[in-house]
Amino acid sequence: MFDCLTDAHCHADFTKSSPDGGLDAGMDLCACACYPEDWKALRDFSAPKVKKSFGLHPTRADMNLLPTIDDYLEFASAVGETGLDERAADGIPLEQQREVFDTQLRLADKFRLPAVIHCVGFWGELVKILKEWAARSPGAKFMLHAAKCSPEIARELEKIGGYFSFGLRELNSKKGAACAAAVSPDRILVETDALPSREIIFETIGKLADLRGTGDVELAQSAYVNYFRFYGK
Ligand SMILES: [Zn+2]
């Protein structure tokens, strides 16, 4: 129905027999490979409308896994997803997550790329790290994927280059809905965080438009413009 659907954050599945990794969804999308074993398959895949993001997820934060990522970032539209995850802190202490996160933000600078951010808990720490990044890298852009921070934090993040991407899971939660209602129209994106699907994106746009009291088409168009402003052409 819309010719301007976008999926700002999805994941391929190259383990299936399908050679397209499930990415042939008929819309503009950014596929994220956030584990080292997924980097190569995504790099070697190419199709129109598919952008790529390579990073190391905080649940696998380990400096020893990072050295080869430069070989992939040359083909990337973003670094990530990277960030902090309180649920993983038993096995991967905050200090270690912070080091791996900060290293990836420095890679974003090196390759002049925006960053895709994952955060569960640790919000104070996340805001602090992103503020430090923004201060040393004017013009840096980042997208909070699966956004459900408080409206207050969202406003702080907008001031330093933050975009916000929402999927059905967030929009169906109280926190996510409050965040989605609060962010500026020029910072909003939509995502599946799974195999891309026009049907799911369509439903997400409808839900998000309802929450924001706007029309579906208007919202889809904003997300489209924001997608290309964030990831580049
Ligand atoms: Zn994801």
- Spacing, Cα 118 to ligand 1 middle (Å): 8
Number of domains in the chain: 1
- Spacing, Cα 159 to ligand 1 middle (Å): 24
Instruction: Evaluate whether 109 touches 82 at the Cβ level (below 8 Å).
Output: no
- pLDDT, average across residues 200-225: 97
Helices (H), the chain: 36-44, 70-73, 94-110, 123-136, 151-159, 168-171, 174-182, 198-212, 216-231
- Spacing, Cα 194 to ligand 1 middle (Å): 7
Residues whose Cβ atom is located within 5 A of ion ligand 1: 193
Concatenating the DSSP letter of every residue in 14-38 gives: TTSS-TTTT---SSEEEEEE-SHHH
- Spacing, Cα 5 to ligand 1 middle (Å): 18
CB-hemisphere CA count at 13 Å for 179?
29
- Spacing, Cα 184 to ligand 1 middle (Å): 22
Q: Which residue has the tokens 């904003």?
A: 222
Whether the predicted pLDDT of 16 surpasses 80: no
Concatenating the DSSP letter of every residue in 32-72 gives: EE-SHHHHHHHHH---TTEEEEE---GGG--GGG-GGGHHH
| pLDDT tens-digit map of 83-134 | 999 999 999 999 999 999 999 999 999 999 999 999 999 999 999 999 999 9
Determine, yes or no, domain membership for 35: yes
Q: How many residues does the chain have?
A: 233
Band of pLDDT at residue 1, cut at 50, 70 and 90: low
- Spacing, Cα 10 to ligand 1 middle (Å): 6
Domain that holds residue 147: 6-231
- Spacing, Cα 222 to ligand 1 middle (Å): 22
- Spacing, Cα 117 to ligand 1 middle (Å): 9
Determine, yes or no, domain membership for 54: yes
> Alpha-carbon dihedral of residues 93, 61, 7, 74, nearest 10 degrees?
150
What's the CA gap between 205 and 89, in Å, rounded? 33
| pLDDT tens-digit map of 148-187 | 999 999 999 999 999 999 999 999 999 999 999 999 999 9
Determine, yes or no, domain membership for 184: yes
- What 3-state class would DSSP assign to 10? strand
The CATH number for 107's domain is 3.20.20.140
- Spacing, Cα 166 to ligand 1 middle (Å): 11
Provide the token pair at 218.
């208007």
pTM: 0.96
Determine, yes or no, domain membership for 1: no
What's the CA gap between 120 and 169, in Å, rounded? 14
Angle at 10 between CA 51 and CA 197, to 5 degrees: 105
Determine, yes or no, domain membership for 200: yes
